[in-house]
């Protein structure tokens, strides 16, 4: 009997620990995702990036912490007012994290979309000399993300931005890009309706679509 109690207690203990661990992960992630959603300048984003990097270290099998760390670094690149070197530094950190995420979860539309987002950032940092070589790569990557999941609104809104840039460059109308914006808005709405409490999966990007709709597709 004693033996049974011991085994039972040990099992319980293990379960408690495992649960605690999982709880801690989810708690930490939820908190940081919220913080990142409100983070403004580069310095605040850096804190989010650091926090996700810490969570990634603690949960080596999870792709989401690295995914968010990459996203934070990419956002830093976009928001930075600093030198090209500084921006490239952020993008190289972003790439490091997204590659880790990609290794953990290959052919993941969300990850591929952020890969494209990073390429887009590198392009924007020095469009004069990088435009020609990177715009094709960015579009290709967003295309792949869409192919992997046609319901991914982030892949679609990012592609819309590239399409819009191309159309402007060649003096064409924004119809195609705006079609994509509308498609993404629909998917964002669907995503919001379906989102459950405690969801850790990516939901960002709606604001991007709304801004673009407001600015370019009226």
Partner 1 sequence: MKVLFTICLFFLVNLTLAQTMIKGTVKDARGETIPGVNIFLKGTYDGTSSEVNGTFVLETEEKGNFILVFQAMGFKSQEIEIVLDGGEKNFNPVLREAINEMTAVTITAGAMEASDEKRAVVLRPIDIVTVPSAMGDIIGAFQTLPGTANVGNDGRLFVRGGDASETSIFIDGMKVGNAFGTTASNVPTRTRFNPNLFKGSFFSTGGYSAEYGHALSSALVLSTVDAPVRNQADISLLSVGMGYSQTLVGEKNSLTASANFMDLSPYQAMVTQNFDWERAPYGWDAEVSLRQKWGKSGMVKAYAHTESGGMKIWQKVPGTEGRGQLVDLKNHYTFASGSFKQTGKNDWSYYGGISYSNNVDEFTLNQIDIRNQNQIMHAKAVALKGFSDKFSLKTGMESYFFNYEEGLRSEGLVWDFTDLQGNIFTEADYYVSNKLVFRGGLRAGHSVLADQTWIDPRFSLAYKFENEGQLSFAAGKFSQMPVEQLRIAKPEVQNVKADHLILNYFLTKNGRTLRAEAFYKNYNKILTYEGSQYFYRNIQQSGTGYAQGFDVFYRDQKSVKNTDFWVTYSFVDSRRKFAQFTELVQPGFAPRHNASIVVKHFVSKLKSQLGGSFAINDGYTYTDPNFTGQMNAKTEGFRDLSLSWSYLPKPNLIIHFACSNVLGRDNIFGYQFSPQPNEAGQYESLPIRQTAPRFIFLGIFLTLSKDKTANNLNNL
Tokens representing 119 are 């390429």
Q: Which is nearer to partner 1, 170 or 197 (CB)?
A: 170
| List 1, 3, 5, 198, residue binding partner 1 (CB under 8 A) | 5
The residue assigned the tokens 């996203």 is 71
Between 9 and 19, name the residue whose CB sits nearer to partner 1. 9
The least CB distance from residue 204 to partner 1, in Å, is: 20
Dist CA 157 CA 136 (whole Å): 17
Question: Exposed (0-12), middle (13-18) or buried (19+): which is 170, by Cβ within 10 Å?
Answer: exposed
Q: By three-state DSSP, how is residue 202 classified? A: coil
The residues in 55-94 that bind partner 1, with binding defined as CB under 8 A, are 55, 57-58, 85, 88-90, 92-93
Question: Interhelix angle for 42-58 vs 64-79, to 10°?
Answer: 160
Using the rule CB under 8 A, which residue among 143, 203, 210, 213 binds partner 1? 143
Regarding 137 and contact with partner 1 (CB under 8 A), the answer is yes
Site string for partner 1, 159-188 (x = CB under 8 A): x---x--x--xxx----x--xx--x-----
Q: Side-chain half-sphere of 40: how many Cα atoms within 13 Å?
A: 0
CB of 211 to partner 1, least distance (A): 20
Which residues lie closer than 8 Å to 108 by C-beta, 6 or more apart? 63, 101, 102, 148
Query: Would you say 135 or 206 has its CB closer to partner 1?
Result: 135
Q: Hey, CA dihedral for 138, 109, 80, 217, is it positive or negative? A: positive
Return the DSSP state at 195.
Answer: P
Contacting residues toward partner 1, per CB under 8 A: 5-6, 9, 13, 24, 28, 43, 46-47, 50-51, 53-55, 57-58, 85, 88-90, 92-93, 126, 128-130, 132-134, 136-137, 139-140, 142-144, 146-147, 150, 156, 159, 163, 166, 169-171, 176, 179-180, 183
């Amino acid at each position: 009997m004693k033996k049974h109690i011991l085994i039972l207690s040990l099992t319980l203990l293990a379960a408690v620990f495992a649960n605690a661990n999982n709880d801690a992960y989810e708690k930490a992630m939820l908190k940081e995702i919220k913080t990142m959603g409100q983070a403004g300048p580069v310095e605040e984003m850096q804190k989010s990036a650091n926090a996700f990097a810490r969570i990634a270290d603690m949960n080596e099998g999870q792709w989401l912490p690295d995914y968010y760390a990459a996203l934070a670094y990419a956002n830093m690149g976009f928001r930075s007012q600093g030198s090209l070197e500084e921006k490239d530094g952020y993008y190289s950190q972003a790439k490091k994290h997204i590659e880790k995420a990609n290794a953990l979860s290959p052919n993941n539309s969300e990850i591929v979309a952020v890969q494209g987002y990073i390429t887009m950032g590198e392009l924007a940092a020095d469009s004069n000399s990088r435009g020609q070589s990177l715009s094709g790569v960015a579009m290709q990557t967003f295309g792949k993300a869409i192919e992997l999941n046609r319901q991914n609104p982030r892949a679609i809104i990012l592609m819309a931005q590239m399409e819009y840039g191309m159309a402007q460059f060649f003096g064409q109308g924004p119809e195609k890009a705006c079609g994509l914006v509308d498609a993404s808005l629909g998917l964002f709405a669907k995503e919001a309706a379906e989102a459950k409490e405690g969801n850790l999966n990516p939901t960002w990007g709606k604001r991007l679509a709304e801004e673009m709709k407001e600015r370019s597709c009226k």
